[in-house]
Amino acid sequence: MITITDDDFTAFSRYIKTHYGINLKPEKMSLVAGRLHHVIASNKMNSLSEYLNYVQTDRSGQAAVTLLNKITTNHTFFMRESDHFYYFRDSVLPYLARTIASKDMRIWSAACSSGEEPYTLAMLIDEYFGRGKAGWDTKILATDISSHVLDIAKRGIYSNEKIAILPPVWKMSYFKAYDADSSILTDDIRDEVIFRKLNLMDPVFPFRKKFHVVFCKNVMIYFDRATRRELVDKLYELTEHGGYLFIGHSESLDRDKTKYKYVRPGVFRKE
């Protein structure tokens, strides 16, 4: 295992914070050492500072991609924090179906990891509208900084263990057997989600239209307070009036600083 000096770790975490917003606290040093050990050794380097220098000078950008894939935490699962999905189904969707005259519903899963969150939304939407979905554009934009998880998400293949939590009727309607241990989402559901790479730290997001609903869950937990506040301000600007922001249950917004109105735990609204 590589040994990391305090100075090396400080420089490294400063780089990560500036570029990706992720706050690597000193207690994460051994985690970082564990995750980067192999990539540093395989590049025949001896220290974190040498590796950081390599990442910063690599013009292809590939070294930074590898680094990000190593340090991000991508844990997710279908129906995670299920009360949010039920609220989305029972309150948000009926409101949107009633009020969006153009039938162009815009939903953004802003740190989608391997796709379970946006695909859960796609299945809920399909079930809600049923045959009435014709005429609606309900495509979901799903973004993440990690190309590794986006590749997994695009394939739409999940172990049967991962989908066990879903209602049997969903498993029958929205999945097909892929092999003995896994299932693949139907083309119809896969086509409902557009995956793109996007860094939430980018100063400007490339969207022409605002969103009716933004899911930005379990990612801000890695950002410090100031970074979180800036991001939430940007999300607010990108939310339609009457639209919603969902954040993780272990996350919080500075309620006196944000313009979003609190609705219920983890759910906020732009009035």
Interface positions with ligand SAM (CB under 6 A): 20-22, 72-76, 80, 111, 113, 117, 144-146, 149, 199-201, 217-219, 222, 248
- Quick one: tokens of 243? 């639209």
CB-nearer residue toward ligand SAM: 105 or 219: 219
CB-nearer residue toward ligand SAM: 111 or 136: 111
Which region, left, alpha or beta, applies to residue 268 given φ > 0 means left and ψ of -120 to 50 means alpha?
A: beta
CB-nearer residue toward ligand SAM: 28 or 133: 28
- Are the beta carbons of 33 and 77 closer than 8 angstroms? no
Residue of minimal Cβ distance to ligand SAM: 76
Q: What is the closest distance, in whole angstroms, from the C-beta atom of residue 116 to ligand SAM in the complex?
A: 7
CB-nearer residue toward ligand SAM: 217 or 270: 217
Map residue 184 onto helix, strand or coil.
strand
| H or E stretch covering 239 | strand 239-246
Q: What is the closest distance, in whole angstroms, from the C-beta atom of residue 270 to ligand SAM in the complex?
A: 20
Q: What letter does residue 27 receive in the DSSP assignment?
A: G
Angstrom distances, CA of residue 231 to CA of 98, 109, 203, 237, 265: 29, 14, 9, 10, 19
195 bridge partner residues: 142
Looking only at the bridges linking them, the beta strands covering 211-215 and 261-264 are: unpaired
Q: What is the closest distance, in whole angstroms, from the C-beta atom of residue 266 to ligand SAM in the complex?
A: 10
CB-nearer residue toward ligand SAM: 103 or 264: 264
Q: What is the closest distance, in whole angstroms, from the C-beta atom of residue 128 to ligand SAM in the complex?
A: 21
Q: What is the closest distance, in whole angstroms, from the C-beta atom of residue 202 to ligand SAM in the complex?
A: 8
CB-nearer residue toward ligand SAM: 176 or 249: 249
Q: What is the closest distance, in whole angstroms, from the C-beta atom of residue 201 to ligand SAM in the complex?
A: 5
For the chain, the first-to-last Cα distance in angstroms comes to 52
Q: What is the closest distance, in whole angstroms, from the C-beta atom of residue 57 to ligand SAM in the complex?
A: 21
* Residue type, position 165, single letter: I
CB-nearer residue toward ligand SAM: 2 or 214: 214
Alpha carbons within 13 A on the beta-carbon side of 43: 19
- At which residue do the structure tokens 């985690």 appear? 31
Sequence-ordered list of residues with C-beta below 8 angstroms from that of 173, at least 6 positions apart, any chain: 186
The Cα–Cα gap between 236 and 232 comes to: 6
